[in-house]
Amino acid sequence: DAGVTQSPTHLIKTRGQQVTLRCSPKSGHDTVSWYQQALGQGPQFIFQYYEEEERQRGNFPDRFSGHQFPNYSSELNVNALLLGDSALYLCASSANRGITLHFGNGTRLTVT
């Protein structure tokens, strides 16, 4: 059991569409980070949410946005999808902005 749950597990979208991915953190965790893992690469940091605010952001365009809810769950939104957005999107949670991360199984996004 990952503790961190992500939905959906797989998603197929067309270029130009928008997508929303969801994450529930491990019990007791209040910080959620999102990572993108392209095929054959390591995860790349997208952003981190804590206290319902974006606290840090990686080198991703504004098409990538997020939200954190009062129950600490989080959403990742990607607008105007490009073929290059095809990847595994990982959610990771931690306590109090800690860096010991617990990862979910990820959402596999395919853009056609």
Binding site for other proteins (CB under 8 A): 2, 4, 31, 33, 35, 40-45, 48, 55-56, 58, 90, 92, 97, 99-106
Distances from the Cα of 60 to the Cαs of 28, 47, 57, 78, 101, in angstroms?
A: 28, 9, 8, 10, 20
> In this complex, which beta carbon is closest to other proteins, that of residue 16 or of residue 54?
54
34 vs 111, beta carbon nearer other proteins: 34
Looking at the Cβ atoms of 2 and 12, the one nearer to other proteins is 2
Task: Write the CB contacts of 8 (distance below 8 Å, at least 6 apart in sequence).
Answer: 21, 107
Q: How far is the CB of 95 from other proteins (least distance, A)?
A: 12
